[in-house]
Structure 1
Amino acid sequence: MSLKLDRRKKYTRNVLKESFMKRMKEKPLSTITITEVCEAADINRSTFYSHYKDLYDLLYQIEDGIIEDMNQTLSAYNYTKDDEAIQMTEKLLQYLAENRESCQILFSEHGDPNFQKKVMVLAHTHLLNSLMADSNNIPFYSEYVSLYIANGSIHIVQHWLKNGVKESPKEMAELITKLANKGLSAFQ
């Protein structure tokens, strides 16, 4: 019996998430109503409230799931080795490509700016930890470098998602890693 309930719960959350993301693709979060999400999902409002407090709760759960997946991927690699840095970046980009529609919406103008900040903080923290592990870097210098790399990389990924993921995750991982390691001099 509990397996049946778990499936129903999972199904309900998935259709609510899909309905909500479709709305976010069309218009800003502030103009979306629970009623329209429920109608599109063919779920009543009381069922919505049995799963989420409000639309922001639904949004934060979607965002937190993505952040958690990204954090697990980032934590599994050693950044000081170029090969692993490329593999880690490629793995992240594969995840983003597989979840392209959701990620594209969350990174768009209709998305929550706080999500973009969370992704930035996550990337910055992992980059800073890897730079600090390299004893040749001065701490304040490492912080600025990690901010620069994280911001640039996120904007590259946003552009890549927005333009239809034309390049492979591997090609993008190599580009991002090359820019992070050598900057523009890598292309001269």
Structure 2
Amino acid sequence: MTSANPKLAIIYYSATGHGTSMAARVATAAEAAGAEVRLRHAAETADPESFAHNPAWTANYEAHVGKPAATGEDIVWADAVIFGSPTRFGSPAAPLRAFLDSLGGLWSQGKLADKVYAGFTSTQTAHGGQESTLLNLYVTLMHFGGIIVAPGYTDPVKFVDGNPYGVGLIANRENITAFDDATADALDHLARRVVGVASRLA
């Protein structure tokens, strides 16, 4: 790491828009903390016809058309990376998993190591797999040789949202993209913490 103003890549997958909103919030907070930010989505792997019945999923997919998708170069460029994904049966969703699985060449060259990493997720229910999704993500990042910077309980906001592993949003069945103050504050804290640690390691 060589920059006093760290480079942060925010790489996320979002189906219906919750993750898109969370990633945008993290980006705003990170830029306010002094980071240079790249906001990148993991490319959709499902056929659009398969989710045509879901207006929120279709709208979010169409909103990403023409925007740059994440590549391994985004991680090589970055001093720190924050990943985001909804849970799929207790693990990161397939599009983010496919992106991570594509990084073997960079991993074998050591180009994913010694970077700060953290994550955020969303579930439809309170016990829908937030912890296991983040922990499964972090297992991969440990294989990278990454420096995992979880928020822990390093700020009073974490005693409100209660997630020491990252940030987790409890979404609802209407697929709204808004979230409560506790989640917003936790996302801001995660961004500041990752940027702060990356700055100290630079």
TM-score normalised to structure 1 length = 0.30
TM-score normalised to structure 2 length = 0.28
More helix by share: 1
Rg (Cα) greater in structure: 1
Structure scoring higher RCO (CA < 8 A, sep ≥ 6) equals 2
More strand by share: 2
